[in-house]
Amino acid sequence: MSSPIASPEILAFAAGFPLALLHTAATLGILVAGAALYVVLTPHKEIRLIREGNAAAAVSFGGVLMGLALPLAAAMTASASLLEIVMWGAPTVVVQLLVFRLVDLLLKGLPERIQHGEISAAALLAGAKLASAVVLAAAVAG
């Protein structure tokens, strides 16, 4: 009778789990770096605004996080290596940062509108980020 510890399932998990953790850590690192870059590049200080109770900033930043996470998750799913995750993940972050600029062109004064708590502007930005994230995720997943 074979030991349950020596079963193929347990051995496959033991071999694959460290790699899964590494890929997850790398993807989360790209997510955090992308969110930090977004915070630095936007003229309004969303984290401060959120701490002050600005719901528009929270909606906007939540859209940013989801907008970054969706294509990064697709990149992680479609990639066989850490290098592929980075190669697919980094450009999706850049595209998502450009979406803010495009929506800002449509809605004049987007940062000021978010600072003043205008939920409609923040919701449109979050929607644009999520829509582009879904398209990016599909493109990355192939």
How far is Cα 79 from Cα 45, in angstroms, rounded to an integer?
Answer: 34
* pLDDT value, residue 67: 92
* pLDDT value, residue 80: 86
**pTM, entire model:** 0.86
Residues of the chain with pLDDT under 50: none
How far is Cα 46 from Cα 114, in angstroms, rounded to an integer?
Answer: 9
* pLDDT value, residue 107: 75
Among left, alpha and beta (phi > 0; psi -120 to 50; other), residue 45 is beta
